[in-house]
Chain A
């Protein structure tokens, strides 16, 4: 399972980072960085939570 970012859609609200700080973070410019794109079964719940809270639907699992 991979986490996929629709970069133009991301506005840097940062709710995904709050939900899954081990998987992604906003850098100093407020741009989202995916620290782990390949998601293990152990992290699937966190990844789902991050995808779910994105207010502009910029994240999805593939």
Chain B
């Protein structure tokens, strides 16, 4: 075992300028080492592709228990969820979470999601100019997740702010986190009291309560599962769909490739996820002294996984700063990997593939104005994207 300490950087991982444009900082950290100690945040960041993928697969060395968030309050609040637990407890919680969310459970939804995306894109092409984050990036996931879980009434209206706050509070205890805790608390309170009859008949949400009543999942877990659907599945998907539009507008030749060859749709989504990771940083804790890339990560260290840094590692991807749908980076890190790999990735693919297919089929020219970004602790997304011209194919 080495006793070499990791290199140190004075970077603040959650500084406004870093959050809005993290890639220059990611490159600098990656050049320093696969692991870098950031005293400003009291974390060890993982920066290189192989280091991240190995850590994600090694839950025995890099625990999620009480460690995925960057403040003690959020880690306490997430206790008992699959996100924040390790096997063997994790295995049962994950099974309950994915029973209704795995690709095999979602197969029946493809046609309705395709139809929703196509109708939205058709309406926007007819408009010609619009604000794309509200008009598409938020509209589709909100509609899909609301119908999936069976949300009605005031809950539907709160999904966006609840979903944003649930991600924001995973950051360190800065002003953004402090302001978001009361809103995340509204979501938590609602999920603690929601009952089967609050959710639309026939919805997946109602099905989770029926599974609880049958004893297929442990008592009192249905509310937690709904919390995770909303907390993890809304803000990140919104980010991805906004990124699809912005990246295709910036790289029209890449949209043309997909238009000419629709079998590139999954590859295009993989490249969007690789190029702009929706999640900035995610936590783990070292359960023991771990040697990584020739340096020591000490037992008990808070670790931050920088998915976006790994996704641009030139040790793994050739010409990593180029956006090229043809590279099909199926092993990108944006969904994580291993036991905690994104549980909702099947649903995310259904939504994103539907959007890319509709854009490739219906859109010829796409011209956007400057995107607006607002610093956010965990989710990196576009706040506003003015589409100046969306012309039919």
Contacts and interface: CB of A to CB of B under 8 A. Distances in A.
A23 B91 CA distance: 27
A53 interface: yes
Interface in A31-62: 31, 52-53, 55-57
Contacts, number: 49
A29 B104 CA distance: 7
Given A12-B102, A55-B342, A30 B91 contact: no
Contact of B57 (A11, A13, A19, A57): A57
A56 B336 CA distance: 9
Contact of B103 (A8, A14, A52, A53): A14
B341 interface: yes
Contacts of B98: 11
A14 to B, nearest CB: 6
Interface residues of B, number: 22
Given A8-B91, A11-B346, A13-B345, A57 B104 contact: no
Contacts of B266: 18
Contact of B338 (A8, A15, A29, A56): A56
A58 to B, nearest CB: 9
B260 interface: no
B103 A57 contact: no
19 contacts: A8-B91, A9-B339, A11-B98, A11-B102, A11-B346, A12-B102, A12-B346, A13-B103, A14-B103, A15-B330, A19-B330, A30-B102, A30-B107, A31-B104, A53-B330, A55-B341, A56-B339, A56-B341, A57-B339
Given A9-B91, A11-B343, A57-B57, 12 more contacts: A11-B98, A11-B103, A12-B102, A12-B346, A13-B346, A30-B104, A52-B331, A55-B335, A55-B342, A56-B337, A56-B338, A56-B339
